[in-house]
Amino acid sequence: MHRFFVFIGLLFCSCLVSSVEAETPVKNVLFLISDDLKASALGCYGNEICKTPNIDKLASQGMVFDRAYCQGTSCGPSRRSFMRSRYRDKDNLTLGEHFQNNGVYTGRVGKIFHMRVPGDIIAGTNGEDVEACWTERFNTQGREAHTVGDYSCLNLNIFTRDEENRQSTRMPHRMFVSVEYEGDGSDQPDFQAAKMTVSLLNQKKAEPFFLATGFVRPHYPSVAPTQYFAPYPFANMPLPEMPEGDLDDIPKAGIPGLTNASSGIGKYPENIQRMWSAYYATVTYMDEQVGKVLDELDRLGLRESTVVVFTSDHGYHLGEHTFWQKSNLHEESTRVPLIISAPGFEAGRSGSLAELVDIYPTLCELTGKPIPKAVEGSSLVSILKDPSEKVNETAVSFVQKGKGWRFDDWAYMRYKDGSEELYDMKADPGQFTNLAEKEDSGEVLERMRKLKP
């Protein structure tokens, strides 16, 4: 009898040890979100011009998803989607509420849910933020287009230092504005976001935390000190490839409202180069702020217990196909950077399809939280273990006029008016030849047409 109880006791202890050993080392989440950042602007995604050493360093320490896609293709829909892991509705608790319900502090710095840039940034207001998501929240502020310095409105070919009549909140040409000025950048919202995040890391280091920090750059207006513009002389900026007749086979529904022609910037090729220069300047400035946060995480010894996620709400067009901004289903708009660096997982790269709705269940699994039944995304943890694993056969994106599907080899768009686009992404990654009207695409096209609208 004595031996029996000894055996049971040892078995019980063994179960406890196994349970402890199986317990996840990930206690904390640091969720970093850039605004309007195209994946192809980063060094870790192959860009050889734009300088992003801090994000590139994070990429070297984590899993880089080469084919990650947003669901909403503008700020509001995308952020609602990934913060609830729902494609197009709100039928789930926000990520922050779920973590709070599991005993975790949640803090928001800057733009996570939609805020009008520049409007809410100038005012320092909450925009469409969901208050229940956060234990605490902190806004960031800046003068944006009204920053004193060299102002440009590039589609109108205006260059001035005058502070009057600048394109700003709700104005039609605000997306073509840049401001280069003398300063150290400490007056900018992203500097404030990094500073507050560093402070919160120090305040909350002894308890489980979920910190979400939203950087507003490179979202327009492209405002940064002159030292960030200096590495990118506009004359050295290559223009996007523009084949003759590129728009001829793109249906009307697939062409966004802002193009070279409709905006007027097509009349000024040098100003398209200036747009690239300004975009890169703000990406580099944002990268520096990301570096401050990651350096503090390391200094505090929190890397061993914290999963770091870096992404953007959607991509961005800077004249590709003559398109500008987002809100369309082409690759530059739907593809986003996604880097996940988690304790206990090796660094690597994966070509497996990922969606932003996958972040929610991934963070739940990594931190040992239950995954709500309402979640529509899939955990990416199996890919963190093995980059060749697949959890998605497709990645889906939406615009008001239609829906797009990204497969391993194909990109297919279907619009409400019945028009279509189909691209062979291996042979034509730039999406220059729409195969939807080609006779030899019949078999593939028929398969695509069976997809649920």
- For residue range 91-114, list pLDDT tens digits in order: 999 999 999 999 999 999 999 999
- Does a structural domain hold residue 18? no
How high is the pLDDT of residue 23? 62
**pLDDT at residue 8 tops 60:** no
Contacts of 73 (CB under 8 A, 6+ apart): 314, 326, 327, 328, 329, 333, 334, 397, 398, 399
Residue 332 CA to residue 330 CA, distance in Å, equals 6
Pick the more confident residue, 90 or 5: 90
Q: What is the DSSP string of 377-443?
A: S---HHHHH-TT--S-S-EEEEETTEEEEE-SSEEEEEETTS-EEEEETTT-TT--S-GGG-GGGHH
The full DSSP string for 227-292 is HHHTT--GGGPPPPP--TTGGGGS-GGGS-S-BHHHHSGGG-HHHHHHHHHHHHHHHHHHHHHHHH
Residue 446, number of CB atoms within 10 A of its CB? 9
With contact defined as beta carbons under 8 Å apart, do 118 and 168 qualify? yes
CATH value at residue 346 = 3.40.720.10
pTM beyond 0.85: the answer is yes
Name the percent of the chain lying above pLDDT 70.
Answer: 95
- Is residue 11 assigned to a domain? no
Query: What pLDDT sits at residue 438?
Result: 87
As given in the structure block, the two tokens for residue 206 are 């002894």
Q: Which residues pair with 336 in a beta bridge?
A: 68
Cross-strand bridge partners of residue 335: 69
Do the Cβ atoms of 313 and 335 come closer than 8 Å? no
Q: Read off the pLDDT band of 5 (50, 70, 90).
A: very low
In 3D space, the residue among 310, 294, 292 whose CA is nearest the CA of residue 302 turns out to be 294
Which pLDDT belongs to residue 10? Answer: 37
% of the chain with per-residue pLDDT over 90: 92
| Nearest-angstrom CA–CA distance, 238 and 228 | 18
Residue 143 lies in a domain: yes
Residues 310 and 321: their CA atoms lie apart, in Å, by 27
User: Is 1 inside any structural domain?
Assistant: no
Do the domain assignments include residue 240? yes
- Between CA 350 and CA 392 the distance in angstroms is 13
- Half-sphere exposure (CA, 13 Å, Cβ side) for 248? 6
Check if the beta carbon of residue 156 is closer than 8 Å to that of residue 165. Answer: no
pLDDT, tens digit (0-9, with 9 covering 90-100), for 290-312: 999 999 999 999 999 999 999 99
Q: Is residue 364 part of a domain?
A: yes
- Residue burial 316-355, b: 16+ Cβ < 10 Å; e: rest: bbbbbbbbbbbbbbbbbbbbbbbbbbbbebeeeebebbbb
Asked if residue 346 is part of any domain, the answer here is yes
State the total domains in the chain: 1
The per-residue pLDDT of the chain, averaged, comes to 94
Residue 53 CA to residue 184 CA, distance in Å, equals 19
Q: For residue 425, is it within any domain?
A: yes
Distance CA 196, CA 202 (A): 10
Lowest mean pLDDT among 5-14, 215-224, 320-329: 5-14
Q: Which domain holds residue 154?
A: 24-449
Q: Which residues of 256-277 are buried (b: 16+ CB within 10 A; e: fewer)?
A: bebbbeebbbbebeebbbbbbb
